[in-house]
């Protein structure tokens, strides 16, 4: 059974990502290390003792429709209420609406633990938090006052409605439409698919954020507006009113995350109310809805990265325990009686240490991204731009590298179990099935790569990413200066990986400057992985340098393994970035 690694999470937050220094510098108000430890400890207890035991039930039963109602797995309604009553939905929300105003770093750490317990369950709260962020940033004062307190408390949940059957990720061709009304409201019509927790009976109301197009809107993404559309209308006194004209048509039958209801939503077909059209309220300005939605989407992308980290951790824990218990054959050097535990076999050990390294690296990348987001909100002067650009640069890497790692680690977990990994009753397969959606939703990892290369690398004329690489080199210099024997060839290998990153970065920037976006995009995905691997090596090293009292030898060993076994891939990835475009273009003829 999953046990939240609270000490490891706290160490990474404080000493790798930068939380302790931010506290010491007074950037985070009255937050203290003791309060951080207390919050993480309780979040870990809830994840281990309350969420994780219901994960298998959620996977086996799944969400289902019964007589037109969406029913969640047994026990999940009580679990959600306990979660909301614990105040977990309000960690980072504004205190003006009942939130606790805590740093984003603490929220993503808690999200990791809840997702390790059950991704399907944690998805619902994750979307609500994103909806709260969007309404807080762009909603009118009236909308905030009416909806945010109960969304922040978790009494009402929230959703994000973007995708349509014909549109996929191309929101510019969406067909959902909105019509103005004289009373300042809008009527919404259309169909949305893949809507996470779009319908359920756990809370008395669901607040949908819906993208739609006005009749006179410009074409493409410049003509999209965002609307708040509640399942039930809300009276002026805050009480629940009539049912709005929207409903769940059906649930998707999915590879994984079975407990999470993924809905096809219908707006405005006349099923409810006296007049067809779901009643909605504009968020932000007309035709500028995509910018509003990106407030939600950017935070959601990091949250999805945390799902990858969560799967990595849970799958690794299960594989390590199985490898310790399962005996088979005799490993080299085994002196015990009978067969040796399979963890003693070199190839099994290789898989397990690889899983551990990818878990730790992904966690560090995501936490560093969250730290940058926090600092962008608490910095002054020129530092605001610096930290905002750092968060922007790291978000696509955090989302993509961590979710790719989740799939890889879950697959290695199945392999560690051998044939038993392919049998559902062991639970190893569930982690892979749950992990596989994460590289797809909230912008596929290919979209993340395109965003990284075409939008994030050019920030400050490329000088931000150059400065970041210089910061990473300082960690490698500290490794070299430490003279710690346990590092082995870590400094040399990390130097090489950062050189690969630097060369690939400059090549991509030169292609963009020359107007050769096609060549740059051909190498975007390998570049994204190159960046993530380089960061993994550096942040594992940073953790080893910082850990003088609690298991430095273990951190040194993990860092050295990653540097000498995994990071060398950056050389091949650089070659693909720089030299792969021509062969890709030629190979397109295969599909002509």
- Tell me the catalytic residues: 442
Rounded CA-CA distance 555/541 in Å is 8
Rounded CA-CA distance 169/448 in Å is 12
Rg, C-alpha atoms of the chain? 24
Q: What 3-state class would DSSP assign to 291? A: helix
Q: What 3-state class would DSSP assign to 488? A: coil
CA atoms 452, 453, 455, 460: torsion sign: positive
Residue pair 318/416 in contact (Cβ under 8 Å)? The answer is: no
In a 13 Å sphere around the CA of 388, the CA atoms on its Cβ side amount to: 12
Give me 506's structure tokens.
Answer: 């400059």
Task: Give the pairing type, strands 278-283 and 206-212.
Answer: unpaired
Q: Which of 259, 229, 211 is nearest to 55 (CA)?
A: 259
Between helix 119-138 and helix 141-153 the angle, nearest 10°, is 160
In a 13 Å sphere around the CA of 28, the CA atoms on its Cβ side amount to: 26
CB atoms within 10 A of CB 324: 13
What are the residues whose beta carbons fall under 8 Å from the beta carbon of 481, sequence distance 6 or more?
Answer: none
Print burial letters for 391-430: b (CB count within 10 Å at least 16), e (below 16): bbbbbbbbbbbbbbbbbbbbbbbbbbbbeebeeeebbbbb
Rounded CA-CA distance 130/356 in Å is 29
Residue pair 290/211 in contact (Cβ under 8 Å)? The answer is: yes
Q: Is 143 exposed, middle or buried (0-12, 13-18, 19+ CB in 10 A)?
A: middle
């Amino acid at each position: 059974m999953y046990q939240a690694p609270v000490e490891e999470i706290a160490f990474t937050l404080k000493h790798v990502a930068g939380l302790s220094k931010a506290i010491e510098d007074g950037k985070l108000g009255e937050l203290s290390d003791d309060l951080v430890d207390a919050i993480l400890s309780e979040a870990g207890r809830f994840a281990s003792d309350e969420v994780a035991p219901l994960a298998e039930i959620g996977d086996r039963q799944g969400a289902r429709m019964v007589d037109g109602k969406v029913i969640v797995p047994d026990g999940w309604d009580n679990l959600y209420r306990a979660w909301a009553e614990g105040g977990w939905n309000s960690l980072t929300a504004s205190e003006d609406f009942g939130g606790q105003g805590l740093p984003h770093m603490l929220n993503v750490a808690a999200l990791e633990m809840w997702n390790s317990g059950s991704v399907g369950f944690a998805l619902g709260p994750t979307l609500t938090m994103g909806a709260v962020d969007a309404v807080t940033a762009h909603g009118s004062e009236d909308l905030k006052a009416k909806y945010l307190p109960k969304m922040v408390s978790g009494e009402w949940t929230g959703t994000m409605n973007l995708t349509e059957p014909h549109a996929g990720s191309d929101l510019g061709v969406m067909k959902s439409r909105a019509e103005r009304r004289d009373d300042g409201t809008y009527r919404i019509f259309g169909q949305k698919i893949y809507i996470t927790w779009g319908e359920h009976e756990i809370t008395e109301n669901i607040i949908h954020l819906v993208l739609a197009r006005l009749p006179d809107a410009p074409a493409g993404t410049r003509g999209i507006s965002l609307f708040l559309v509640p399942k039930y209308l809300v009276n002026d006194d805050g009480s629940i009113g009539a049912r709005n004209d929207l409903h769940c048509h059906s649930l998707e039958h999915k590879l994984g995350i079975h407990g999470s209801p993924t809905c096809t939503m219908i707006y405005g077909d006349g099923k409810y109310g006296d007049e067809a059209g779901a009643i909605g309220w504009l968020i932000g300005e007309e035709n500028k809805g995509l910018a509003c939605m990106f407030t939600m989407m950017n935070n959601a992308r990091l949250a999805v990265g945390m799902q990858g980290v969560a799967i990595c951790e849970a799958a690794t824990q299960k594989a390590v325990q199985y490898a310790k218990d399962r005996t088979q054959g005799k490993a080299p050097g085994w002196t015990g009686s009978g067969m040796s535990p399979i963890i003693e076999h070199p190839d099994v050990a290789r898989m397990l240490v690889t899983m551990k390294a990818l878990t730790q690296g992904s966690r560090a990348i995501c936490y560093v991204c969250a730290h940058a987001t926090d600092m962008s909100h608490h910095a002054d002067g020129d530092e605001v731009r610096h930290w905002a650009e750092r968060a922007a640069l790291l978000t696509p890497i955090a989302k993509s590298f961590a979710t790719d790692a989740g799939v890889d680690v879950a697959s290695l977990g199945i392999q560690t179990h051998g044939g038993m990994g392919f049998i559902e009753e062991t639970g190893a397969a569930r982690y892979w099935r749950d992990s596989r959606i994460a590289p797809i939703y909230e912008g596929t990892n290919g979209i993340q790569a395109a965003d990284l290369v075409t939008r994030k690398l050019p920030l400050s004329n490329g000088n931000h990413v150059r400065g970041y690489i210089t910061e990473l080199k300082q960690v490698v210099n500290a490794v070299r200066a430490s003279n710690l024997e346990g590092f082995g060839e870590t400094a040399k290998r990390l130097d090489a990986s950062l050189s690969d990153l630097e060369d690939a970065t400059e090549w991509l920037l030169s292609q963009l400057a020359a107007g050769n976006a096609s060549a740059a995009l051909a190498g975007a995905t390998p570049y994204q992985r190159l960046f993530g691997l380089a960061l993994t090596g550096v942040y594992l090293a940073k953790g080893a340098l910082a850990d003088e009292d609690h298991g430095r030898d273990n951190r040194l060993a993990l860092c050295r393994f990653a540097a000498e076994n995994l990071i060398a891939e950056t050389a091949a990835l650089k070659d693909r970035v720089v030299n792969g475009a021509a062969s890709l273009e030629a190979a397109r003829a295969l599909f002509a």
